[in-house]
Amino acid sequence: MIVDSIENAGQYYCIGTRIEKALRYLKETDFSTMKPGRYEIEGSNIYVLLLEYDTKPVVEGKWEAHRKYIDVQYMEEGAELLGYSLLSNLEVIREYNAEDDYALLKGKGDMITLNSGTFAILYPADAHMPGMELGAPKPVIKVVVKILIA
Cα–Cα distance for residue pair 8/125, rounded to 1 Å: 23
Q: Are 81 and 133 in contact (CB under 8 A)?
A: yes
Q: What is the pLDDT along the chain (150 residues), one digit of tens a residue?
A: 999 999 999 999 999 999 999 999 999 999 999 999 999 999 999 999 999 999 999 999 999 999 999 999 999 999 999 999 999 999 999 999 999 999 999 999 999 999 999 999 999 999 999 999 999 999 999 999 999 997
Beta bridge partners of 3: 120
DSSP helix/strand/coil, 81: strand
**Complete domains list, the chain, with CATH:** 2-148 (2.60.120.370)
Q: How far apart are the first and last CA of the chain?
A: 18
